[in-house]
Structure 1
């Protein structure tokens, strides 16, 4: 997910400034009573964060996780109604996360974390979208998409992963993580890359459901040319990043962009439109570690804005930003703000979804 490349598109506003303190209680009350707010249906998931400078508060813990802790984390996530997990990487900087015959293995505390999480997902009914990269530097998106050698390696890896893990009922489909952005259209090179990945995915797993997650929605121009692009794209789900966490959009703005994108998808009658909603904010304003935002003053508003225009809301991300109280697989800042966010969301979920 090319949140790592978002800086060139940043706005300088702060979303929190859009909700004066005196209006917060009225806003929260109205949203809590809105029956049309969709819950969070899933999250991105990672074994290590792509940019170490953003994941310092949870990477050390993840690196030491045992197989049982990875399973516990998946079970924990399922308890708040998440149905989907989107694996960010099967490789990192050219090293395979799983035991592979194609590349050296990235050293973690668990010999096969991919087997661990898929086994747990089988048990609790979670569906995984499995990544097919990063077989070189994750920040070199153009290279990863277009290099012939990487293309061959990626295809071989998809075959290997299918052979090793395709028996898991939780292996729902693929996620192609070298993401494009709207400026205001998709680059043809990205469309070619994505369609190439889909061909391989469907050859290996004909029933696979496959997804991408583009960014920079504020540049969208959902005109006839864009509709024609959507018609050319052989992809099942496009989960657009809402951009609130990276300050690319201001709180309240994504609704108008998603409405336009929704109308374009309706015309194209092609990919389903989902949301990739950002739960975090940056510790240093526009950079640094990712920290969990507040549910009541920000995330609930994001959910309200996105709900009318998407089939599902996924989030970026549970790992590092949410932790169940007393979790045996804790990964996040020691200040327990991730536990606070978990409690806030679970209270809303229980009141508005479970006990509706």
Structure 2
């Protein structure tokens, strides 16, 4: 019997990576992207099979990537409004884009804990985004980029944050909400965890496989995701995998060898409804692309993956 294979059909992307080191191979390039470059890169990713895009953030360290009347500081980018550029491309290409709501303040990763710091921006920014960009069909929903560090179970603070954010988003704009927790290998797969999944008022949960960060090995994913599948079936919620296609070169993200990525795909395909990756931008580039961003090995990862997809008849 031929093994079931799911393609990578979604990806995260960013205008400037939130970590000061990890995006070193592509931050300079994306800072220089024009609106046409963003359109070209979106088309390239769709050609590679992507139909679902999670934008990591619309702001970072108190500066926005789009013209905002709420936060007065902006990143110095060549493209006047990269958010509009990708949404326009999304409409043309008929894909879904989920806009990241986080990293408004510093420290960025504590938006859900530091309520006094984050709350003053949250509702106003959601409203501003819907007012400015709500007419784009590709604006399909929201991604909450503050990641849950699961330690056996979901942190209670995180569940409260997610449910509050989801309620606020759905009152103002698109209804769909996505999260991407880490710490999957620590999960206690029992009734309490199932109840926690049920209690999360989100539509899709894309669990990080944590292979890229060296917290899990590809062969361990069978155990983790088979139990996630059972738990999500009990909770009545779809199950996505966030496949890490990177490895580390010091503190910097570089493309992983495809032999490892292939193992991840082959295992995850047995258990999940959809595979999305972190992340195409910077780690994969079509040979000859007009909008190159990333490590020189990114073209090899792209070609190896494209050959695999063709071989699998997907």
8 Å CA contact retained: 2:246, 2:253: yes
1:232-291 Cα offsets, whole Å, 9 max, x none, are 11110000000000001012112211111111111111x32100000000013xxx1111
Counterpart in the other structure of 2:300: 340
Q: Does 1:191 align with 2:159?
A: yes
Structure 2 Cα separation of the partners of residues 230 and 121 of structure 1: 30
Q: Does 1:290 align with 2:263?
A: no
Counterpart in the other structure of 1:281: 247
TM-score by length of 2: 0.96
Cα distance change on mapping 1:144 and 1:228 into 2, 3 Å: closer
Counterpart in the other structure of 1:126: 95
Counterpart in the other structure of 2:122: 154
User: How do 1:81-120 and structure 2 match up within 5 A?
Assistant: 81-103=49-71, 104-120=73-89
Give how far 1:198 is off.
0.4
What is the SS of the residue equivalent to 1:291? Answer: strand
Structure 1 Cα separation of the partners of residues 222 and 57 of structure 2: 29
1:77 to 41, 45, 60: 45
Structure 1 Cα separation of the partners of residues 61 and 214 of structure 2: 27
Counterpart in the other structure of 1:320: 282
8 Å CA contact retained: 1:320, 1:338: yes
Counterpart in the other structure of 1:254: 221
8 Å CA contact retained: 1:146, 1:193: no
8 Å CA contact retained: 1:259, 1:309: yes
1:72-114 Cα offsets, whole Å, 9 max, x none, are 1001100011111110011010111110001121111111000
Counterpart in the other structure of 2:11: 43
8 Å CA contact retained: 1:43, 1:315: yes
Structure 1 Cα separation of the partners of residues 111 and 169 of structure 2: 20
Cα distance change on mapping 1:153 and 1:178 into 2, 3 Å: same
Counterpart in the other structure of 2:138: 170
Structure 2 Cα separation of the partners of residues 159 and 35 of structure 1: 45
Structure 2 Cα separation of the partners of residues 159 and 149 of structure 1: 18
Structure 2 Cα separation of the partners of residues 255 and 153 of structure 1: 41
CA-based RMSD: 1.4
Give how far 1:144 is off.
4.3
What is the SS of the residue equivalent to 1:44? Answer: strand
Give how far 1:148 is off.
2.9
8 Å CA contact retained: 1:80, 1:349: no
Q: Does 1:217 align with 2:184?
A: yes
TM-score by length of 1: 0.85
Give how far 1:143 is off.
4.4
1:145-202 Cα offsets, whole Å, 9 max, x none, are 4413412311210110011111111111100001112110011110010001100111
Stretch of structure 1 that moved more, 140-149 or 191-200: 140-149
What is the SS of the residue equivalent to 1:302? Answer: helix
What is the SS of the residue equivalent to 2:294? Answer: coil
Counterpart in the other structure of 2:234: 267
Q: Does 1:303 align with 2:265?
A: yes
1:105-129 Cα offsets, whole Å, 9 max, x none, are 1111111000001101111112111
Higher helix share: 1
Structure 1 Cα separation of the partners of residues 103 and 249 of structure 2: 26
8 Å CA contact retained: 2:60, 2:108: no
8 Å CA contact retained: 1:35, 1:352: no
